Structure 1
C-alpha cells in the first residue's frame, strides 16, 4: 500500500467513528452488524493505525450506519 494515501485512510477511519457515534453505536454493536471482529472496527477507527479497507467494506459500513458512502470520502 502506498504511503501517499495514508492520511486519507486515517480520515476515513475518523469519519466512520464520527458517524458511528452519531448513530449511538458502540464499536461492538457496529462490528456485530457487519459480522466482523470488534478489533477490526477499532483498527479502522484508530488514528494511529493505518488500516486500509475495501470498497465493499466501506459500502457495508455505510449501509449499517444508514448513510451515503460518499460521506466518508468528502475531506473538508
Structure 2
C-alpha cells in the first residue's frame, strides 16, 4: 500500500469503533449507507484498510444519533 493511501491510526480506531457498534446493534453496511445517504460501496471502502475513504465529522454525528450515543464514543480517550 502506498504511503499516501494509508489511513491514520486515529481514522482506523474511529472506523473500528463505528463498525463494532454497527454490528452490535445489528446494522448492515447497507443500513448505514442509507442513513448517511451514501452508497453501500462507500461504507465498504471506509471499513477497508486499503481504501482512503473515511467518515467525516458529519457522518459521525449522524451515526451517533442513529446509535443513540455521543460522537465522543467513537474517539479514543487519549490523543493518538
What interval of TM-score do these two structures reach, taking the shorter chain for normalisation? Answer: 0.7 to 0.9
- How far, CA to CA, are the matches of 1:13 and 1:57 in structure 2? 11
Stretches of structure 2 that go unaligned for 5 or more consecutive residues are none
TM-score, length basis structure 2 = 0.75
Which sections of structure 1, spanning at least 5 residues, go unmatched? Answer: none
TM-superposed deviation, 1:54: 2.1
How far the C-alpha of 1:17 sits from its partner, in A, is 0.5
Instruction: State the alpha-carbon separation in 1 of the partners of residues 24 and 8 from structure 2.
Output: 25
CA RMSD of aligned residues (A): 2.3
TM-score (norm 1): 0.78
Which structure: greater helix fraction? 1
Displacement of 1:11 after TM fit? 1.0
| 1:62 equivalent in structure 2 | 64
Alignment correspondent of 2:25: 23
Residue 52 (structure 1) shift: 3.6
Larger Rg: 2
The 5-angstrom pairing of residues 1-76 of structure 1 reads 6-74=8-76
